[in-house]
Amino acid sequence: MRCPFCSADDTKVIDSRPAEDGSAIRRRRQCDACGKRFTTYEKVETIPLIVIKKDKNRETYDRSKIESGVIKSCHKRPVSAEAVTKCIDDIENTIFNMEVREIESTTIGEIVMDKIKDLDQVAYVRFASVYREFKDVNTFMDELGKLLTSNSEKR
Protein backbone atom coordinates (compact mmCIF):
# COMPACT_ATOMS: atom_id res chain seq x y z
CA MET A 1 0.00 0.00 0.00
CA ARG A 2 1.40 3.37 -1.00
CA CYS A 3 1.70 6.03 1.72
CA PRO A 4 -0.65 8.99 1.03
CA PHE A 5 1.84 11.37 2.69
CA CYS A 6 5.24 10.52 1.17
CA SER A 7 4.25 8.02 -1.58
CA ALA A 8 6.62 5.35 -0.24
CA ASP A 9 5.62 1.78 -1.15
CA ASP A 10 6.51 0.17 2.18
CA THR A 11 3.80 0.32 4.83
CA LYS A 12 2.83 -2.13 7.53
CA VAL A 13 -0.52 -3.05 9.01
CA ILE A 14 -0.74 -2.11 12.70
CA ASP A 15 -4.36 -3.09 13.38
CA SER A 16 -7.18 -4.83 11.47
CA ARG A 17 -10.83 -5.03 12.47
CA PRO A 18 -14.23 -5.20 10.81
CA ALA A 19 -15.69 -1.83 9.84
CA GLU A 20 -18.75 -0.68 11.81
CA ASP A 21 -21.27 -2.14 9.38
CA GLY A 22 -19.29 -5.36 8.90
CA SER A 23 -19.07 -4.94 5.12
CA ALA A 24 -15.36 -4.08 5.06
CA ILE A 25 -12.09 -4.53 6.94
CA ARG A 26 -10.60 -1.41 8.50
CA ARG A 27 -6.81 -1.43 8.58
CA ARG A 28 -4.55 1.02 10.42
CA ARG A 29 -1.24 1.29 8.61
CA GLN A 30 2.08 2.96 9.30
CA CYS A 31 4.57 4.09 6.68
CA ASP A 32 8.07 2.63 7.15
CA ALA A 33 9.64 5.71 5.52
CA CYS A 34 7.92 8.70 7.19
CA GLY A 35 6.29 6.99 10.19
CA LYS A 36 2.85 8.54 9.59
CA ARG A 37 -0.30 6.49 10.13
CA PHE A 38 -3.37 6.20 7.94
CA THR A 39 -6.49 4.06 7.58
CA THR A 40 -7.56 1.93 4.64
CA TYR A 41 -10.76 -0.03 4.06
CA GLU A 42 -10.82 -3.34 2.25
CA LYS A 43 -14.08 -4.43 0.60
CA VAL A 44 -14.98 -7.54 -1.31
CA GLU A 45 -14.92 -6.84 -5.01
CA THR A 46 -18.30 -7.51 -6.51
CA ILE A 47 -19.61 -7.75 -10.02
CA PRO A 48 -19.95 -4.18 -11.24
CA LEU A 49 -23.44 -2.76 -10.97
CA ILE A 50 -24.71 -1.07 -14.13
CA VAL A 51 -26.95 1.99 -13.79
CA ILE A 52 -29.50 2.58 -16.54
CA LYS A 53 -29.90 6.34 -16.94
CA LYS A 54 -33.12 8.11 -17.96
CA ASP A 55 -31.85 8.39 -21.55
CA LYS A 56 -31.25 4.57 -21.52
CA ASN A 57 -27.45 4.97 -21.54
CA ARG A 58 -25.64 2.62 -19.20
CA GLU A 59 -22.75 3.39 -16.86
CA THR A 60 -21.10 1.68 -13.93
CA TYR A 61 -22.35 2.45 -10.45
CA ASP A 62 -20.43 5.28 -8.76
CA ARG A 63 -20.88 5.81 -5.01
CA SER A 64 -19.43 9.33 -5.27
CA LYS A 65 -22.50 10.47 -7.23
CA ILE A 66 -24.78 9.51 -4.36
CA GLU A 67 -22.36 11.08 -1.86
CA SER A 68 -22.36 14.31 -3.83
CA GLY A 69 -26.15 14.53 -3.96
CA VAL A 70 -26.64 13.76 -0.27
CA ILE A 71 -23.87 16.15 0.83
CA LYS A 72 -25.25 18.97 -1.33
CA SER A 73 -28.76 18.49 0.03
CA CYS A 74 -27.43 18.53 3.63
CA HIS A 75 -25.34 21.68 3.09
CA LYS A 76 -25.65 24.04 6.09
CA ARG A 77 -28.00 21.64 7.87
CA PRO A 78 -27.43 20.25 11.38
CA VAL A 79 -26.47 16.82 10.06
CA SER A 80 -23.17 15.29 11.16
CA ALA A 81 -20.68 13.85 8.70
CA GLU A 82 -21.12 10.51 10.49
CA ALA A 83 -24.89 10.59 9.89
CA VAL A 84 -24.35 11.43 6.21
CA THR A 85 -21.89 8.54 5.82
CA LYS A 86 -24.28 6.14 7.57
CA CYS A 87 -27.11 7.29 5.29
CA ILE A 88 -24.97 6.73 2.18
CA ASP A 89 -23.92 3.29 3.49
CA ASP A 90 -27.61 2.43 4.07
CA ILE A 91 -28.46 3.54 0.54
CA GLU A 92 -25.63 1.47 -0.91
CA ASN A 93 -26.54 -1.60 1.17
CA THR A 94 -30.16 -1.35 0.01
CA ILE A 95 -29.05 -1.16 -3.62
CA PHE A 96 -26.62 -4.08 -3.40
CA ASN A 97 -29.00 -6.22 -1.34
CA MET A 98 -31.37 -6.13 -4.31
CA GLU A 99 -28.83 -8.46 -5.96
CA VAL A 100 -29.38 -7.17 -9.47
CA ARG A 101 -26.73 -6.53 -12.12
CA GLU A 102 -28.54 -3.53 -13.61
CA ILE A 103 -30.64 -0.91 -11.88
CA GLU A 104 -32.59 2.09 -13.13
CA SER A 105 -31.28 5.46 -11.96
CA THR A 106 -34.86 6.30 -10.98
CA THR A 107 -34.86 3.35 -8.55
CA ILE A 108 -31.65 4.65 -6.99
CA GLY A 109 -33.18 8.13 -6.75
CA GLU A 110 -36.24 6.80 -4.94
CA ILE A 111 -34.05 4.86 -2.49
CA VAL A 112 -32.00 8.00 -1.82
CA MET A 113 -35.16 10.05 -1.26
CA ASP A 114 -36.55 7.45 1.13
CA LYS A 115 -33.34 7.32 3.21
CA ILE A 116 -32.71 11.08 3.16
CA LYS A 117 -36.24 11.76 4.43
CA ASP A 118 -35.26 10.11 7.73
CA LEU A 119 -31.98 12.05 7.83
CA ASP A 120 -33.29 15.62 7.50
CA GLN A 121 -36.56 16.92 6.07
CA VAL A 122 -35.05 20.08 4.57
CA ALA A 123 -32.36 17.97 2.90
CA TYR A 124 -35.14 15.73 1.61
CA VAL A 125 -36.99 18.66 0.02
CA ARG A 126 -33.75 19.97 -1.49
CA PHE A 127 -32.92 16.58 -2.98
CA ALA A 128 -36.48 16.06 -4.20
CA SER A 129 -36.54 19.47 -5.89
CA VAL A 130 -33.53 18.54 -8.01
CA TYR A 131 -34.35 14.86 -8.48
CA ARG A 132 -38.01 15.38 -9.37
CA GLU A 133 -37.14 18.47 -11.44
CA PHE A 134 -39.84 20.69 -9.96
CA LYS A 135 -41.09 22.91 -12.75
CA ASP A 136 -43.03 25.38 -10.63
CA VAL A 137 -44.08 26.32 -7.11
CA ASN A 138 -47.20 24.13 -7.24
CA THR A 139 -45.13 20.98 -7.79
CA PHE A 140 -42.90 22.02 -4.91
CA MET A 141 -45.93 22.62 -2.67
CA ASP A 142 -47.37 19.20 -3.60
CA GLU A 143 -44.17 17.52 -2.40
CA LEU A 144 -44.23 19.55 0.83
CA GLY A 145 -47.84 18.51 1.32
CA LYS A 146 -46.88 14.83 1.02
CA LEU A 147 -44.09 15.34 3.56
CA LEU A 148 -46.41 17.09 6.01
CA THR A 149 -49.06 14.39 5.59
CA SER A 150 -46.54 11.59 6.26
CA ASN A 151 -45.30 13.47 9.36
CA SER A 152 -48.79 13.83 10.79
CA GLU A 153 -49.47 10.12 10.18
CA LYS A 154 -46.33 9.15 12.14
CA ARG A 155 -47.55 11.03 15.21
Structural domain boundaries, residue 67: 50-154
The per-residue DSSP string of 42-99 comes to EE---PPPEEE-TTS-EEE--HHHHHHHHHHHTTTSS--HHHHHHHHHHHHHHHHHT-
pTM: 0.65
Query: Mean pLDDT throughout 84-112?
Result: 93
Question: 109 pLDDT exceeds 90?
Answer: yes
State the total domains in the chain: 2
Residue whose C-alpha is closest to residue 108's, from 73, 45, 65, 79: 65
pLDDT at res. 46: 65
3 occurs within a structural domain: no
62 in the same domain as 37: no
Grade residue 138 by pLDDT with cuts at 50, 70 and 90.
confident
Q: What is the pLDDT of residues 28-85, one digit of tens each?
A: 999 999 999 999 988 776 678 999 999 999 999 999 999 999 999 999 999 999 999 9
65 occurs within a structural domain: yes
